[in-house]
Structure 1
């Protein structure tokens, strides 16, 4: 199970992108599944900061809270 520390939006975005690509999903597919614009997902994966994210991560750092993101990789498909 991959695990990432996410001390800022950029690291959290990288974890999202890694999980998406490990599942063989395109940005278009995931955005459609979530009902969000693809450009919004692009910005999430880039870790583009906004006021909400900036304040959240500043608060987490001030309180000494660390975020670690982990996820299961999809099972490998056996080759014939």
Structure 2
């Protein structure tokens, strides 16, 4: 089942866009700073509204194999793809 917003974009499409946004933020940060960003840094650079949402997207990215990280370990994100 797909849910559509006023702009006719499905919820799945919005989630993919936000996943790609978070992945791009992580990749750019690592290339510039040679370390991964903190949850708060990802939050401030993204369109997301809470750190728990950032955690949820990190988990989704980990599940689909785009990143790896150690939970509760600071700056442990590694981009795999």
Both structures adopt the same fold (TM-score exceeding 0.5): no
User: Which TM class, normalised by the smaller chain length?
Assistant: under 0.3
- Which one has more relative contact order, counting CA pairs under 8 Å at least 6 apart? 1
Report the structure number with the largest CA radius of gyration: 1
TM-score normalised by the chain length of structure 1: 0.27
